[in-house]
Amino acid sequence: MAEKFIENTRVVDLQPLGAANFLLTLEAPLISRAATAGQFIQVAVPRCSVLWRRPFSINDVSTENGLVEILFQILGRGTRALAEVKRGDTLNVIGPLGNGFRVESTVRRALIVAGGLGIAPFPFLLKRLGEASIPSVVLYGVGRREQLCCVDRLRERAEVYLCTLDGSAGEQGTVVDLLEKHLRENPPIPDLHLFTCGPTPMMRKVQTIAEKHQLSGQASLETVMACGFGACVGCAVPMRHPQPGVQEYYLACKDGPVFNLEEIIIHD
């Protein structure tokens, strides 16, 4: 099993990105060196009564400077408290956790499909794909322009196409519409591999499209987690079982959060 650490990390920066999104930079040398793209960290939220640590995808790392970044959105009590941390504060963090994206030697091109905060794990993945000289296209959709995050960083590492529901940036429509259009205009080649993260209904549609085009792919699931280490069974993901009538489950915190698209059932 890959090494994981409990680190008292120092808050280096907290940048508001608009639309209640924040980029948090932590000094976490052990985690930054051990992490692979698609893994996550569990953050103990300070000055807040929430019991469980909160999980966040690793957005990017700088191994030279020992930094780990996460991109988060204020949803409830934990993330609201996290948005109030100050430079120099200490946050206790466990990581890197879970199984990240696998970049097999057969992958020659990457197609990334991200919806909303589902963009979070992809700057780190793009760094790894770049190191492996794998060209990447990113299709990224949000509701409106202010919700876009890390676009400059994405553009440094990939060809990026944007869409918004209200048409305020990129094409108007959903990222699923954008994916269908992209595949119509660029018929998939056999060594193309798809990576996706976003709202569950979006990923279910991406899974259907991948099957239609016989595309291999991986999805990062953000199921609600409590314990984060396989004890509470709160993060069960139904697996596709070869035997009809048999239902077995993966645990997103231990077996995921990244799964091969063809191995899981994505429920709306």
Q: What is the spatial distance between Cα 264 and Cα 268, in angstroms, rounded to a whole number?
A: 13
How far apart are the C-alpha atoms of 128 and 38, rounded to whole Å?
Answer: 11
Candidates 8, 230, 248, 265: give the one binding ligand FES (CB under 6 A). Answer: 230
**111 touches 60 (CB < 8 A):** no
Reference 123, options 112, 115, 132; nearest CA is 112
Strands 5-18 and 60-62: unpaired
Q: Is 50 in the site for ligand FES (CB under 6 A)?
A: no
Residue 227 interacting partner from ligand FES, ligand FAD, none (CB closer than 5 to 8 Å by kind): ligand FES
Is 232 a binder of ligand FES (CB under 6 A)?
yes
Residue 14 binds to ligand FAD (criterion: CB under 6 A): no
Q: Which of ligand FAD, ligand FES, none does residue 79 bind to, with CB < 5 to 8 Å depending on kind?
A: ligand FAD
The answer to whether 136 contacts ligand FAD (rule: CB under 6 A) is no
Taking CB under 6 A as the criterion, which residues in 99-128 touch ligand FAD? Answer: 117, 120
Residues that bind ligand FAD (CB under 6 A): 40, 50, 54-57, 70-73, 75-79, 117, 120, 222-225, 257
Residues that bind ligand FES (CB under 6 A): 225-228, 230-235, 251, 253
